[in-house]
Structures are given as structure tokens and as C-alpha cells.
């Protein structure tokens, strides 16, 4: 059994549910471009970078446009997304998350963020969680998307903790793979069948405790 010294959290789908705001913003773009974009389509964008998400959306709508136009549409989507997340409040923190952060702090287990989102710092500020984090790695500080382990390895490096002593919490398949590729343990948050490569899966942080970190 390895002593766990740090927990690294994905943001969307683990700490907070921002997928619903991404959906509203992407759907508005698809409406404008004249094709249907459903909640099922939105599942394909979870954990995926902004530009890759746009490419997937355009593939769904069979729309071909220049790189310049893509940049413009991504910026337009992001403007709408930001207008939505600016209205977020601490009430949107997913159940059990803050209590778990407190117990980690009390037991000197470090906390890092490992998110693909370039808007992560703004979201953490809106939900008043920034102060819990010893390190923040987000879409602004990485070159390679999950399942590449870069985001989590940087988190471990910033914390000064060996990757084998880190546990990653992830809701996306690519995120679970990124943790495994980084030599870390991974607890899936969500559906056990979907996240079957994780060490184990919880449906939410009300099921989580320090004792369960010892595995």
C-alpha cells in the first residue's frame, strides 16, 4: 500500500458541473450554423480541449470552414460560456467536494487541479474554492491533451510529490487514461461501466473518505 501525499482533481464533472454551460454555448453555435446539437453529442466534448471540441462539433454538422473562421467561432463560444460561468456561485460545488477538501487539508494531503479548461481559474474563483489548491494546472499551462499525462505530471511536479503517491479524480475516459499513463492511481467519478479502467469508481464525493484513499 502506497502512502498518498496528493490528490489531483479534474474540474468539469468532478468538482462542478460546467458541462451544462458548455452545452448551452455550443448549442447556440450549432443553431447559428443550422444543425442539431444534442446532449448526447455534448458527451463527446467532455474533457476535450476547446479547439478539438469545435472540430468535433463541425464534424457533426458536416461544416467545413477556414482556420481563421474556426478561431472566430471558438472565441464566440467562449464569450457566451464566460457570460454563463460568471453567474456561478459556491452552491454549484458538487455534493461532498468541499468537506473532502477540508479533510485532505487537515491531514496534510496536498490538493491540485488538473483540468483542460482555460477558464478553470475563473470558475474556481466564482465558486470560492481557489484557496484550497496548492497547485493549479489548466488548459493555459499544458501543450498535450488528456490522455497524455502532462496535466497531471505537472501537477505532481508543482507539488513536489512523486506521481505514484498521487490519486487523480476524473470523470472522463481520457482523463482516467491520462492518470494511468502518468503512473498515478485513479478514482473515477461517475459511471462504473464507463470508467472501468479506474482503480474504483464513486458516484459522488459523499461516498469518499480518507480511509478510501488507502488502497
Active-site residue set = 10, 12
- Binding status of residue 12 toward Mg ion by CB under 5 A: yes
Shortest Å distance, C-beta 188 to Mg ion? 11
Please report whether residue 171 would count as binding Mg ion according to CB under 5 A.
yes
What are residue 135's phi and psi, to 5 degrees?
Answer: -155, 145
HEC assignment per residue over 70-85 = HHHHHHHHHHHHHHHH
Per CB under 5 A, does 190 bind Mg ion?
no
Q: What is the Cα–Cα distance from 80 to 55, expressed in whole angstroms?
A: 18
Residue 72 φ then ψ, to 5°: -65, -45
Q: Does 114 bind Mg ion (CB under 5 A)?
A: no
Cβ-contact 110, 159 below 8 angstroms? yes
- For residue 215, give the DSSP letter: -
Question: Is the CB of 172 or the CB of 213 nearer to ligand B16?
Answer: 172
What is the closest distance, in whole angstroms, from the C-beta atom of residue 214 to ligand B16 in the complex? 26
CB of 5 to ligand B16, least distance (A): 22
What letter does residue 143 receive in the DSSP assignment?
S
Pick the stretch among 58-66, 131-139, 170-178, 207-215 that binds Mg ion (CB under 5 A). 170-178
Binding site for ligand B16 (CB under 6 A): 10-13, 22, 45-50, 53, 78, 115-119, 139
| Cβ nearer to ligand B16, comparing 80 with 162 | 80
Give the range of 11-19, 77-85, 145-153, 181-189 binding Mg ion by CB under 5 A: 11-19
In angstroms, what is the C-alpha Rg of the chain? 17
- CA nearest 11: which of 24, 21, 3? 21
Nearer Cβ to Mg ion (32/50) = 50
Minimum distance from residue 141 beta carbon to Mg ion (Å): 17
Residue 185 interacts with, from ligand B16, Mg ion, none (CB under 5-8 Å by kind): none
Shortest distance, CB of residue 47 to Mg ion, whole angstroms? 5
Indicate the residue among 68 and 151 with the shorter CB distance to Mg ion: 151
In angstroms, rounded to a whole number, what is the distance separating the alpha carbons of residues 136 and 154? 9
Beta bridge partners of 113: 9, 136
CA distance 3 to 6: 9
List contacts with Mg ion (CB under 5 A).
Answer: 10, 12-13, 47, 171-172
Amino acid at each position: 500500500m502506497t502512502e498518498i501525499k496528493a490528490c489531483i482533481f479534474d474540474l468539469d464533472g468532478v468538482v462542478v458541473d460546467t458541462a451544462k454551460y458548455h452545452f448551452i454555448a455550443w448549442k447556440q453555435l450549432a443553431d447559428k450554423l443550422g444543425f442539431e446539437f444534442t446532449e448526447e453529442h455534448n458527451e463527446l466534448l467532455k474533457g476535450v480541449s476547446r479547439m478539438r471540441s469545435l472540430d468535433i462539433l463541425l464534424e457533426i454538422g458536416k461544416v467545413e470552414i477556414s482556420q481563421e473562421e474556426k478561431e472566430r467561432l471558438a472565441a464566440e463560444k467562449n464569450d457566451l460560456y464566460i457570460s454563463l460561468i460568471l453567474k456561478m456561485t459556491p452552491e454549484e460545488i458538487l455534493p461532498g467536494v468541499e468537506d473532502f477538501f477540508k479533510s485532505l487539508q487537515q491531514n496534510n494531503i496536498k490538493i491540485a487541479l488538473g483540468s483542460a479548461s482555460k477558464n478553470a481559474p475563473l470558475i474556481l474563483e466564482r465558486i470560492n474554492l481557489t484557496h484550497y489548491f496548492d497547485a493549479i494546472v489548466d488548459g493555459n499551462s499544458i501543450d498535450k491533451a488528456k490522455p497524455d499525462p502532462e496535466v497531471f505530471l505537472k501537477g505532481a511536479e508543482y507539488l513536489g510529490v512523486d506521481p505514484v503517491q498521487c490519486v487523480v479524480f476524473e470523470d472522463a475516459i481520457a482523463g482516467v487514461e491520462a492518470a494511468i499513463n502518468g503512473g498515478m492511481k485513479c478514482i473515477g467519478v461517475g459511471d462504473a461501466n464507463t470508467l472501468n479502467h479506474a482503480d474504483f469508481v464513486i458516484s459522488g464525493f459523499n461516498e469518499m473518505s480518507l480511509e478510501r484513499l488507502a488502497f
